[in-house]
């Protein structure tokens, strides 16, 4: 390992904190995002934290931009050791309210963006015997109400990561998938959904989280070092996942009750 890492969605939130965590260990970072000002800010912070690297604007929906980014990593850093597919967007709304455009947008970024990131960088990772870190969500495992398109996209990221774990073992490419619960982040900047009330509900969950993006980045750092495949940064998330594995029906009942509450609240707000 030559300590070279690529991160998508590095202009803010968890992507930025992952960059800073590895920067403190002196890593070289290839940072991409759709927000140029955010990237410049991250690079400045990375240098202050003891790392270095370069930035390149990249929309993960466009495979040619990702292959160009991989090429830049080869030219500027001589290759790559870890890729972090972190770029993502939030959305919410009951299935009946979500448009097919909402589905296309969500899948294109949160699932296909990860697929394309893995595909574009795999040749470099095979050379370095590097690692893939895919950022999914507890939504991939718990499927909360009024988030079906987000749940499906993130569950796809988990299934992709499981597939790659098995397929890339022989090539000695490591694979990790991270499933954080809600945490304090600017995810809502990209939020897309049919009702403002839904955005407000998600906002409350994000704000009430006891754990920050920096805490999650540190937890990811420790768990990747320990060789853990499924990384669940929240204690509540680990407990919920254990319950679902033992007694899924218990969780479905809980989620059904939550859906009823959300509908009642929406009626109240509209009434």
Supply the residues annotated as catalytic.
Answer: 150
Question: Which two tokens mark 29?
Answer: 């970072």
Is 42 in a helix, a strand, or coil?
helix
The CA distance from 47 to 28, in Å, is 10
Q: Which residues is 212 bridged to in the sheet?
A: 184
**Strand intervals (E) in 179-239:** 230-231
If one counts every other C-beta atom within 10 angstroms of the C-beta of residue 194, the result is 17
Contact 132, 243 (CB under 8 A): no
List C-alpha distances in Å: 241 to 118, 137, 144, 183, 219. Answer: 26, 12, 13, 17, 17
Non-local CB neighbours of 54 within 8 Å, separated by 6+ positions: 30, 31, 43, 72, 76
Strand order in the sheet with 4-7: 52-57, 28-33, 4-7, 82-85, 131-135, 174-178, 230-231
């Amino acid at each position: 390992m030559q300590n070279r890492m690529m991160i998508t969605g590095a202009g803010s939130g968890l992507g930025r904190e992952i960059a800073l965590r590895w920067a403190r260990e002196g890593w070289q970072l290839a940072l991409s995002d759709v927000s140029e000002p955010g990237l410049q800010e991250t690079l400045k912070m990375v240098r202050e934290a003891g790392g270095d690297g370069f930035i390149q604007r990249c929309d993960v929906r466009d495979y040619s931009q990702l292959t160009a980014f991989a090429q830049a990593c080869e030219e500027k850093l001589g290759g790559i050791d870890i890729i972090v597919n972190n770029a993502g967007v939030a959305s919410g709304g009951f299935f009946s309210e979500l448009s097919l455009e909402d589905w296309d947008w969500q899948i294109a970024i949160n699932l296909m963006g990860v697929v394309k990131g893995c595909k574009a960088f795999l040749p470099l990772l095979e050379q370095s015997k590097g690692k893939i870190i895919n950022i999914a969500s507890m939504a991939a495992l718990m499927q909360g109400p009024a988030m079906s398109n987000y749940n499906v996209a993130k569950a796809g990221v988990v299934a992709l990561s499981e597939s790659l774990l098995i397929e890339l073992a022989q090539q000695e490419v490591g694979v990790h998938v991270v499933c954080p619960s809600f945490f304090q982040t600017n995810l809502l900047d990209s939020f897309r959904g049919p009702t403002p009330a839904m955005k407000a509900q998600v906002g409350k969950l994000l704000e009430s989280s006891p754990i920050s993006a920096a805490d999650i980045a540190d937890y990811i750092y420790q768990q990747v070092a320990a060789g853990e495949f499924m990384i669940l940064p929240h204690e509540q998330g680990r407990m919920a996942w254990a319950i679902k594995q033992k007694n899924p029906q218990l969780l479905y009942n809980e989620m059904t009750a939550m859906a009823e509450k959300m509908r009642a609240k929406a009626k109240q707000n509209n009434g």
